[in-house]
Amino acid sequence: MREERGALREGRRKKGMKCFFGVVVGEFWGLVRLNLLFCACVLPSSAVFLSGLFGFYSEIALFSSLLAAFPVGGAACAYVFCITKMLRYEPGYIWYDFRRKFRENVSQAAVPGILCTAFIYAQVYLWGPHLFGGAGIDAVWLIPGGIFLLIFGMVAPYFFLQIAYIDLKTKQIIINSVLISFASTPRSFMGAFMGGVIWVAFFVLLPESLVVAPLFLLFGFSLSWLLNLMWIWPAVNSQFKIEETLRRAGEGRVES
């Protein structure tokens, strides 16, 4: 019977934008709830960071914002787990799945989550004067900055996906993330581009884009993760045979 359900899910699957709109329409309120849960996890850190940013870059506030980012990594793992369940057409319970995966992974993902948060804050710190102050951006800094952002966007999602699904040491997960990212460069690139383009557009178009800020609070993160995971999930699943193992074991975590 389990094999029949798996075959049915495979038959229902769509690709490309059909997949995207299928998940958005079918799981709209689930995506909104996920977005609100993630916002609740990142709000303490982002609020402290913004207070420091607009308080003449107070070092204490900026440092405190990283300490407050402790739950970000666990929330990211729970987020990608819930989104990939939607992509697999698996029945899910947002609050239960998010809470369970957060508790399972928050310890291992804490430091990586803080480092990713620090990287994002560094970009805001570096590019903020150009975006908010109206100063032009020198191409000498724009090109390497864009490359670093792209590499970050290509590698980081693989890290949180592996923590959510696979029992491995952090060091091995880092190595795997880099290797899979560049072994599947087209998918990694498209995932980073599609997942990041809405955020880049939002910050580049500030302050005019503030009018859509409430929409980002409702489903900005969900749309970004969905657009990213549509591209990179097949690479991770192919590498570790996650769906096949889950069908056999009936569990939410792969032992490796």
What pLDDT sits at residue 141? 62
Torsion sign, CA atoms 51, 54, 60, 63? positive
What pLDDT sits at residue 192? 94
- Summarised one tens digit per residue, pLDDT across range 68-105 is 999 999 999 999 999 999 998 888 789 999 999 999 99
- Summarised one tens digit per residue, pLDDT across range 171-181 is 999 999 999 99
Phi, psi (degrees; rounded to nearest 5) at 14: -110, 170
Could you tell me which of 147, 143, 175 has the C-alpha nearest to residue 162?
175
What pLDDT sits at residue 142? 67
Could you tell me which of 148, 82, 72, 84 has the C-alpha nearest to residue 112?
72
Quickly state the pLDDT bin for 252 (edges 50, 70, 90): very low
Residue with more model confidence, 145 or 32 = 32
What pLDDT sits at residue 131? 56
Centroid of chain to Cα 143 = 23
Quickly state the pLDDT bin for 122 (edges 50, 70, 90): confident
Compute the average pLDDT of residues 160-187: 94
Quickly state the pLDDT bin for 148 (edges 50, 70, 90): confident
Compute the average pLDDT of residues 178-196: 94
Task: Give ∠ CA 96-97-99 in degrees, rounded to 5.
Answer: 65
Domain boundary assignment for the chain: 2-249
- The residues, any chain, with a CB within 8 Å of residue 154's CB and separated by 6 or more, are 181, 182, 185, 188, 189, 191, 192
Q: Which two tokens stand for residue 150?
A: 């792209």
Phi, psi (degrees; rounded to nearest 5) at 252: -95, 5
Compute the average pLDDT of residues 184-213: 86
What pLDDT sits at residue 135? 53
- The residues, any chain, with a CB within 8 Å of residue 129's CB and separated by 6 or more, are 135
What pLDDT sits at residue 28? 93
Percent residues over pLDDT 70 in the chain: 84
Contact (CB, 8 A) for 199 and 224: yes
- Summarised one tens digit per residue, pLDDT across range 211-238 is 888 888 888 999 999 999 999 999 999 9
- The residues, any chain, with a CB within 8 Å of residue 50's CB and separated by 6 or more, are none
The average confidence (pLDDT) of the chain is 84
What pLDDT sits at residue 77? 97
Position 166 pLDDT exceeds 50 = yes
Q: Which residues pair with 254 in a beta bridge?
A: 166
- The residues, any chain, with a CB within 8 Å of residue 130's CB and separated by 6 or more, are 136, 137
Distance CA 206, CA 222 (A): 21
What pLDDT sits at residue 39? 93
Quickly state the pLDDT bin for 209 (edges 50, 70, 90): confident
- The model carries a pTM of 0.85
Q: DSSP secondary-structure letter at 91? A: -
Compute the average pLDDT of residues 34-58: 85
In this structure, of 122-126, 167-171, 189-193, the range with the lowest mean pLDDT score is 122-126
